[in-house]
Amino acid sequence: MPAGLVKKRGELADLLAFLGTQKPASTGPSGRLEVVGPTVYGKLPSGQQVDEYTLTNRGGMEVRLINYGATLTSLITPDREGKRTDIVLGYDDLAGYLGDPISSGCIVGRYANRIAGARFTINGKAFELDKNFRGGHHLHGGDVGFQRRLWEAHSFREPDSVGVELRYTSPDGEAGYPGRLKVVVRVALNQQNELSFSYQARTDKATHVNLTQHSYFNLRGHDTGDVLDHRLRLYCDRYLPVDRDGLPTGQIASVAGTPFDFRQPRSIGSQIREVAGLYDHQVVIAGNPTGVVPLARVSEPQSGRVMEIFTDQPGAQLYTSIHLSRVVGRGGTIYRKYAGLCLETQHFPDSPNRPEFPSTLLRPGEVFRSQTIHRFSTE
């Protein structure tokens, strides 16, 4: 269970039934909790060095991160037979990430997802943002965003985990956002096969913040085709309908009787034709909970791999990578549509323009905090 990462005793008790009897993935060769790095990953066109860090544990997990975009480049886990495979989409080298069209593995900000009209108003003042989506909207923080910035990074060791702390200061006016925003992301791995992302942010002017991690998962292996046979359970009873531009209409609808009803496990592809082949919607966790709670359980029948996701965010963007089109990835693998599953834990899209949605406004003196945990096992 996430005992090393979820701190509140009551939250742990609430998770016991959810975690059940999942067995940890088989022991890896070293059996040690280690962090290695920084090592040189490459250099940006500016000449700045990009560093890589590697995290390992006794469960056979190996996690690689770079400080360009605070990007998770590799996540290796064993299957039920102990065979270790990379289960996230990615590239062989820095050049791949510099040209990446899909935000693979990075931290997205200042605002993950869409903002209608690329503008919002705070205290009567309008702010115009980068228009980088369908001609007039704002997506994933703009033309550059946090995913194309070089973060300050250093490794850490704690009694029950190892990891990397990444820091980035977004200047006032970047991509049109007000305020100087200081962001800290801690990525940690423990011996319970839990990979956590913990976020903090502070600002000197009122601004909107919505951060997420944007990995594409294929539990059979990054190079094995589509994820339509993965079985998905979502602890979500509502979703956000969208318009033709993928922007929320403002309605928060029940999943009952819709292709978004994953409250009981079923394959991702079982009803995908009913949404015109496209899952790219925010799903909403049942009960408006507080604290870290279950979001999803994903399993892959061939490998036996299981990924459970816990978060304190109100929901996640469910995305089945339909827009991938012959992206050349790691080892020359061609990533096509449905090659990966994203569950981007976050606040709702377009919240700055939707007062009926949970607020994403951060004011001076306040601290934005968020945590998401991925727990890996086999069955």
pLDDT digits (tens, 9 = 90+) for 24-55: 444 444 568 999 999 999 999 999 999 999 99
Residue 231, helix vs strand vs coil = strand
> Residue 233 domain-assigned?
yes
**pLDDT band at residue 6 using 50, 70 and 90 as cut-offs:** very low
Q: Is the pLDDT of residue 21 over 90?
A: no
Give me the pLDDT at residue 26, please: 40
Question: Percentage of the chain surpassing pLDDT 90?
Answer: 89
The one-letter amino acid at 93: D
Is 354 within a domain?
yes
pLDDT single digits (tens) 163-175: 999 999 999 999 9
Domain of residue 269, CATH code: 2.70.98.10
Contact 107, 70 (CB under 8 A): yes
Whether residue 3 lies inside any domain: the answer is: no
Residue 360: its pLDDT value, please? Answer: 99
pLDDT surpassing 60 at residue 242: yes
The confidence score (pLDDT) of residue 264 equals 98
Which has the higher per-residue pLDDT, 358 or 24? 358
Residue that wins the pLDDT comparison between 134 and 60: 60
Please report the pLDDT score of residue 27 as a whole number: 40
Q: Two tokens at 29?
A: 């060769």
First to last CA, the chain: 15
Mean pLDDT across 251-268: 98
Please name the residues in contact with 105: beta carbons below 8 A apart, sequence gap of 6 or more: 69, 71, 72, 73, 88, 89, 90, 213, 214, 215, 216
In this prediction, residue 135 carries a pLDDT of 86
Q: H or E stretch including 371?
A: strand 368-378
Is residue 344 among the annotated active site residues? yes
pTM metric for this prediction:
0.92
326-345: per-residue pLDDT in tens?
A: 999 999 999 999 999 999 99
Q: Would you say residue 287 lies in a domain?
A: yes
41: helix, strand or coil: strand
The answer to whether the CB of 214 falls within 8 A of the CB of 105 is yes
Q: Which domain holds residue 287?
A: 9-378
Q: Is residue 4 part of a domain?
A: no
**Residue with token string 């569950």:** 343
Instruction: Give the model's confidence band at 374: pLDDT under 50 very low, under 70 low, under 90 confident, else very high.
Output: very high
Domains identified in the chain, total number = 1
- Structure tokens of 358? 């949970």
Task: Determine contact, residues 325/336, Cβ cutoff 8 Å.
Answer: yes
pLDDT of 290 reads: 87
Exactly one of 208, 344, 347, 374 is catalytic; name it.
344
Give the whole-angstrom CA distance, residue 348 versus residue 284. Answer: 9
Element (H, E) at 12: helix 9-19
Is residue 143 situated within a structural domain?
yes
The lowest-confidence range among 7-21, 26-40, 189-203, 254-268 is: 7-21
Q: Residue range 76-90: average pLDDT?
A: 98
Q: Which amino acid is at 80?
A: R
CB distance 216 to 102 below 8 Å: yes
Q: What is the pLDDT of residues 285-297, one digit of tens each?
A: 999 888 999 999 9
Per-residue model confidence (pLDDT) at position 31: 66
Contact status, residue 25 vs residue 59, Cβ threshold 8 Å: yes
| 8-state DSSP, 106 | P
Which structure tokens are listed for 52? 């890589």
Catalytic residue flag (residue 214): yes
CB 182 within 8 A of CB 205: no
1 domain-assigned: no
Asked whether residue 345 is domain-assigned, the answer is yes
pLDDT of 11: 43
Q: Note whether 310 and 19 are within 8 A (CB).
A: no
Sequence-ordered strand ranges (E) for 143-292:
152-158, 161-170, 181-190, 194-203, 207-208, 212-213, 231-234, 236-239, 253-254, 266-267, 280-285
* Stretch 232-259: mean pLDDT: 97
User: What integer pLDDT is reported at residue 233 of this predicted model?
Assistant: 99
CB 218 within 8 A of CB 302: no
- How many residues in total does the chain contain? 379
Catalytic position from the list 140, 214, 281, 347:
214
On average, the pLDDT of the chain sits at 93
